[in-house]
Structure formats: structure tokens, C-alpha cells
Structure 1
Amino acid sequence: MNSPAFSFELPFSSAISPHVEELRAHADAWSARSGMLDLIGRTTWAGGRFERLVARMYPQAPLPELRLVCDGVLWLFLYDDFLVPGQEGDEQERALSCAGLTARILGGTVGTRPDPPAGALWDLRRELLAAGPARWWQRWAADVQDFADSLHDEAVSRARGVPEDVEAYLALRRRTSGWAMLTDFVETAAGRVLPHDVPASPSYVAVRRAAGDVACAINDLLSLRKELAAGESHNLVLVLARNRGYDTAEAVREAERWIATRLSDYRQARQVFLDDCAHAGPAAAEPAAAFVQGLESLMRGSLDWSLESARYTHVPGNTAAPARPGGTDRSCSHPTGVHITKRGSDHEASLSPSRPVPLDSGPDAQRS
């Protein structure tokens, strides 16, 4: 099934770690140890090129920290793929069981390494407990548990077959993306942990959520064709179409406008966050600056990886080759339907300014 072309702006610089080849060897070894490749499919997993995702999202990280973050990102995708719909058995029970085991592993009550995929989290817990301060670990563990719980919530929603409203979808999408966990790793990659009171501040919540909304909505656009082909309903474009009575093209246009609105919200929230931390002194200001830079690397790195990974470009019946970064062509049509204009070696998509769209947007709406 075809999906409309779309465009958007993401004006952050592309970057990739110089350690990407070392990271590839590390990711291959980790994946082999996971015990999951035969179940997921070795070719499918390799096509994800996850080492490049990590290298793009955390381009400034030293190699030891990059390897540690890579383990966490690989686990996130492994867990998500383990619970992909359409497998044998009850999807809700499967997700609930996995979430329960996740809680026990994080709580330290599982004494021996469990079977895949949980064994990878058991290993990761031991690594991370030794690598950083307790306050960071507690936040990360809470965010991992919320991610696991959210996949059960998504399975329940799918089984009910009741269309979600837009705001409910957005709230669940933030959780199922693992965005909170990825932003925690920004601190690990930078070697700068935020002071304990900063993550509880409204300005931190606002800037992190706005960045996550941009990244998730762009991902929904890029995966739209594949999800249409698979009959999936959990996608911003499809939720907009159902709730607003749009056809797919109209829903894509509104999603584009919402990305522009949330990008504007991010810029405003970024300034408020940096000002708040500057007033708190250097102990907060310096980690905050690194955190904001990390958020922008997450947004841009996720986009660049999505354009070169087979995870979103491979659609049954679609033989188009994925776009690749670099080169001298000024534009290309990506298999997902996005028309990308390049500036130098970077992918850069353009979006004309447009009016805000009331989709639970704005920094105030994002605060909890």
C-alpha cells in the first residue's frame, strides 16, 4: 500500500562516532550472546544496523561508555522485537510476563541469569550498577520498567480494538519508544550526571518530552508505509486519520504541522531549561548544556539511522533501495515516501512555517 510523501525540518547537525567499526564488532558479539538471533531472524536483525544508531545518537561518547550504552539500546530493540504482534500465544500475557520479570531483575531478586531475552537485562543491570551513581541508576531502572509496562498497555489497547484518541496515543507513544531510557543514556555518554533535583524540574520534563515528541512523530512518518502494509494501527498518522476523519494524505500534513509545532516548543523549552540550570550554578549548568546537546544528537541520529537502516525501509513488495547519507546529489526520494533535500553530506528536510496544531502541544501541556 502506498503512503503520501512528506517533509519536515530537523535543523541539527549530523554526526557519527569515529568508533563505529569497533562498535559494530561489539554489537555483533553482544547479539550472538543474547541467544535471540534465531528467533528474531539473523538477517532482519543485521539489517537494523543498530551499531550505527548508537554511533549517531551518542557521537561524542568515548568508546567504553559507547559500548555500555550500546548494550542498553540493543536490549531495548531486542525486547521490543520479542513482543512484536502476530506471534503464537496471547500477546497481553506475554507482555505482562515480560514486564513482571523485568521488575524482578531490576529489583535484584533474580539470582541466576534467566533465559533470553531477559538474560541481557540481567547482564546490563550488573554493568550499570557498577558504572554510575545510584541516583542515576534509580531513574534509569524506573524508566526501563515504564517502557516494559507500556508494551503491555499497548498490547491491551490493540486487543480491545478501540481506537485511541490522539492525546492517549501520544502519551503511550512516548513510553513505548523507550525515549526516557535513551535520554538517561545521554548522561552516561557525556560522563555528566545531572544533579538529583534537575530531573524532577518542570523545565527538564518539558524539554525532554518535546524532543521525544519530535523524534517519535518523525519515526511514525518514516515507518508509515511499513505499518500500513502490516495492518498496524499504532501510528500518529493513522490515529489522526481515525479521530479527525482525515484521509491519509490529510493526516500526514497535520502530523507535519505538529512536528513543526513541537520543534518550536522544544526550542522554547530548551532555553527555559538552560536558564533554570544556569541560575542553579555551574554544577547544574554544565551537565544541562551537555544534556541538551545530547537530546539534539538523539533526534538527528535517530533520523539519519532510520534513513539508512532496513528496519523502516524494508516493506514487503517494495524493491527500492534505501537512501544513503553522503554523496553529491542534492535530493533523493526515500522508500518510506519522504522527499529529502541534502545540505552537504547531511540529510535535511524542509517544512514551511504553518499554524500550530492542538495536539496536546506546548511546554505547559507537557509538564507533569
Structure 2
Amino acid sequence: MGSSQSTPSHPRLSRRISLPPPPRATSPCSGSKEGEGIKFPDLVKSIPFPLRLNPYTRFVSAESDAFIIEYAKFSEKQLTKFIGLNAGLLCGMCYAECEPEQLRVCSDFMSFLFNLDDWSDEFDTTGTKGLEEAVMNTLNHPDTYHSDSAAARTAKSWWTRMLKTVGPNCRKRFVDTLGLYFKAIMQQATDRATKTVPELEAYISLRRDTSGCKTGFALIEYAAGIDLPNEVVEHPVIQGLLDATNDSVSWANDILSYNREQSRGDTHNLVCAIMATLGLERQAAIDYAGDLCNKTVERFLEGKAALPSWGPEIDAQVQVYVQGLEDWIIANAEWSFMTERYFGKDGPKIRKSLQTTLLPVRGFD
């Protein structure tokens, strides 16, 4: 997709994106019409990357699930929901080549992040702030900070293990990006409390932080045993690749989780931002979001083709890093139909038909 700004040496790779003209606007974001059909765009067909799976996925995922269940003290309903999540499978596809020790940390964190997402959805800004303080203090002061909260105890476990091998640059990126995540979900909680639907461009920027993807991308380095120099990760082309990957993952998530989220009255979703900003009907907004999502792959491939060289040693690490981003793009698209998070047990069926029926509004469960 084209960019509204460009750099002289790397055209069309700005961190801002150009939005295509929408179809004819007809109505603002509106409520649910129970029984209405929804058609999903095919978000997998535009992705040229092979789906890979870490050979340690099955047993690491089982260990990680047991760990989270022990610490989280789920209710029966929460336990059923967690088991259906299958976060370990997503990790196995995102970090396909790492050793079991690193995969276990990644799996623990991924499950932890999904629980944070659900917890923050249920909290107001005060509750979300408490989560942030417990987790970030655990990461920033691992030797001196102590908390009995489930979030802090869980974080302390995987963080202590991660610190054994993580590089200093990766460590800082991990902590900094998780801090951005918490600030963003605080804004999300404020928007929810005030029933505010962000304007589309503002939403796109905020979503890159509420997704948690930036921290997941830092784990690519940790899992691979590399520690990229800051000047490499901060290069405009690398940043463009990160944004394209983040948008691909986040927007696919928004499109495929839209039915679930609208049934809960949750408006932090690309589809709803499009409906509110551009005045599109629901299906037109879903189609528009699908077009944006599919074009993220074009942006990624343009960036990959424009990668500069930092010398043989760093270039080899960058190649591993970019491979990790590719794994994230295809893994998320496929996993979305394998998890029960969005479609219950109907994921495989909806993967084939790409359609479902609009759920009634129930509120947060």
C-alpha cells in the first residue's frame, strides 16, 4: 500500500499509511442486528509465507498451560475459555525454531498477555493501572519488588527465566514495548468508559500498542538468541516491516473477532472505527478492513526488498528477525481459526465458508 510520506532512499516505506477511498458512505457505527449475516475476507490467500511449527510445541504448550492454570486460579468458566485459547499453538507457529526453554517462556508470556487483555477489558482505568504497576514493577525491579497478585507472580516466573539468556537491547525493547501496551490499554479503558470510538487514523496508531505485538516481536530476538543493535531496529525500513506485521496481525484479529466484540459492546476494533469514521455499513466496513489487511503484505514485501546491509554478521541476524515476522503474519492468520477464542468450535467451518451470523449483544462475560 502506498504511503502518504516517503524517505528519499526508501519510497513508500513511511510509518504512516495512505487509506484508500472508501465505498459510498451510508451510516455511522450502529448497533447489532441479530441474525444478520457476516462475510469475512480471505485473509490467508494474500500471505505467501509457509506455516511452520516448532517440534516442541505439544509438550511445551501442555507445561505452559499447567503453569498458567496453577497461578491464575481460574473459575470453571475461565478454565474452559483458557484451554480453548490454545496460545501455545500460536507460540509454536510464531517461534518455530527455538529451543524448548525459550519456547516455554514465549508460551507463558503469550498466555499471560491474553489474560491481561481479558482482565483489562473487564477493568476500568483504576483496575488497569493496578495491573500495570504490578507487572512493570516486577520487570523493572525483579530483585526488590514483591507482590502477591496473580499477574505479578506469573510475570516474575517467566521474567526470571527470560533474564538468563536475553540480550540487553532485547531486554530493554521488551520492557519498553510492554510499557507502551499498558499505556495504550489505559487509553482504551478511558475510551470504553466514555463510549468514545477513536477516529480511524488515531485508532490505527493506538492499535499498534494495544495489540501487544511489539513485545511479541521482541521475543523473536530472545527466541533466536540474537540481540540486534538499536540502530538496526530503529532503521526506517525495519520500523516499516514492524508496522506492516503489527497491522497485519492486529487488523486480522479485529476482523475475525469483530462478531465476538460487538456482542460485548466493545468498540475498540478496526471495523467499528471504519464504520464511525467513514460512515460505512457493517459489511462494507468489514470488506474495507479486509482490503487494508491484505495490503499489509504488500507493504511488508516492499520493505523486505528495500533492506539495507549492515555487514554479514548483522545481516544474518536481520534475516532471522524478518523470518520471525513472516512467521507471525501467517501464524496469526491460521491460528485465528484454530483457537476457540473467536468462533468457539466453529473455527474450521468458518475458515472454509468465511461467513457467520451476527451475535446478539450480551455485554462482557
Does residue 296 (structure 1) correspond to residue 326 (structure 2)? The answer is yes
Deviations 1:264-312 (A, max 9, x none): 1111112223xx2x2x101210011011110010111111111111001
**Structure 2: distance between partners of 1:214 and 1:145:** 22
Correspondence for 1:323 among 339, 348, 353: 348
1:106 CA drift (Å): 2.0
Query: Cα RMSD between the aligned structures?
Result: 2.1
Correspondence for 1:332 among 343, 349, 352: 352
Q: Unpaired runs of 5+ in structure 2?
A: 1-33, 358-365
Correspondence for 2:183 among 133, 149, 154: 149
Residue 141 of structure 2 corresponds to which residue in structure 1? 108
Does residue 168 (structure 1) correspond to residue 168 (structure 2)? The answer is no
Amino acid at match of 1:4: K
Does residue 78 (structure 1) correspond to residue 112 (structure 2)? The answer is no
Residue 157 of structure 2 corresponds to which residue in structure 1? 123
Residue 360 of structure 1 corresponds to which residue in structure 2? none
- The percentage of counterpart residues that share the same residue type is 22
Residue 311 of structure 2 corresponds to which residue in structure 1? 281
1:224 CA drift (Å): 1.5
**Structure 2: distance between partners of 1:183 and 1:40:** 31
CA contact (8 A) 1:150 1:175 kept: yes
1:103 CA drift (Å): 2.7
Deviations 1:103-157 (A, max 9, x none): 3222207533532122111222222222222221111111111112211111011
**Structure 2: distance between partners of 1:241 and 1:41:** 32
Amino acid at match of 2:348: A
Tell me: higher relative CO, structure 1 or 2? Use CA pairs within 8 A at least 6 residues apart. 2
CA contact (8 A) 1:312 1:336 kept: no
Amino acid at match of 1:322: G
Correspondence for 1:191 among 219, 225, 231: 225
TM-score normalised by L of structure 1: 0.81
**Structure 2: distance between partners of 1:336 and 1:133:** 45
Q: Which is worse superposed, 237-246 or 253-262?
A: 253-262
Superposed, 1:9-28 pairs within 5 Å as: 9-28=46-65
- Misfit runs of 4+, over 4 Å: 334-337
**Structure 2: distance between partners of 1:225 and 1:162:** 19
| 2:352 partner SS | strand
Aligned residues: 319
Correspondence for 1:62 among 83, 96, 99: 99
Residue 13 of structure 2 corresponds to which residue in structure 1? none
**Structure 2: distance between partners of 1:289 and 1:246:** 40
1:213 CA drift (Å): 0.5
Residue 125 of structure 2 corresponds to which residue in structure 1? 92
**Structure 2: distance between partners of 1:36 and 1:173:** 29
CA contact (8 A) 2:134 2:151 kept: no
CA contact (8 A) 1:220 1:235 kept: yes
Residue 30 of structure 1 corresponds to which residue in structure 2? 67
